[in-house]
């Protein structure tokens, strides 16, 4: 188990939510032993990329600060990133002027 707390703990691990290594380590020390639990404690992995860039680092930190090996630590449920789109894109409408020009978030499964 890793006990050194001086290894660049201010470095940002989750860029979308601006979650630092220190915040993730604190979550692990408070019992978060899966990527999903770290996400619930810190919001890491909840940004636009949905953990595509930070999940592997979080998994390695859990392994480093616990007695688990990386292959014992499951990833969170993968979700596609979502972005605001016009409602006309969802409905495939030909007359965009007939629609209200609002943006919505589309989340595909």
The C-alpha angle with vertex 59 and arms to 6 and 80, in degrees rounded to 5, equals 125
- Total domains present in the chain: 2
Q: Does residue 6 form part of some domain? A: no
- pLDDT digit string, tens, across residues 21-45: 999 999 999 999 999 999 999 999 9
For residue 57, what are the CA distances in angstroms to 63, 64, 76, 90, 105? 10, 10, 13, 34, 27
Find how far residue 95's CA is from the centre of its chain. Answer: 37
Helix 35-42 × helix 21-29 angle, to 10°: 110
Please check whether residues 66 and 16 belong to one and the same domain.
Answer: yes
pLDDT in tens, 55-90: 999 999 999 999 889 889 987 766 665 666 666 666
Tell me, yes or no, whether 57 and 88 share the same domain. Answer: no
Question: Is residue 38 located within the same domain as residue 66?
Answer: yes
């Amino acid at each position: 188990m890793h006990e050194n707390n001086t290894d660049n703990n201010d470095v940002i691990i989750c860029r979308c939510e601006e979650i630092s290594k220190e915040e993730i380590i604190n979550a692990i020390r408070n019992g978060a032993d899966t990527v999903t639990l770290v996400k619930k404690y810190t919001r890491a992995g909840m940004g636009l990329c949905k953990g595509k860039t930070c999940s592997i680092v979080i998994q390695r930190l859990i392994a480093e600060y616990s007695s688990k090996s990386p292959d014992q630590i499951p990833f969170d449920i993968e979700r596609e990133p979502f972005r605001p789109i016009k409602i006309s894109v969802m409905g495939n409408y030909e007359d965009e002027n007939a629609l209200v020009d609002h943006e919505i978030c589309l989340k595909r499964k």
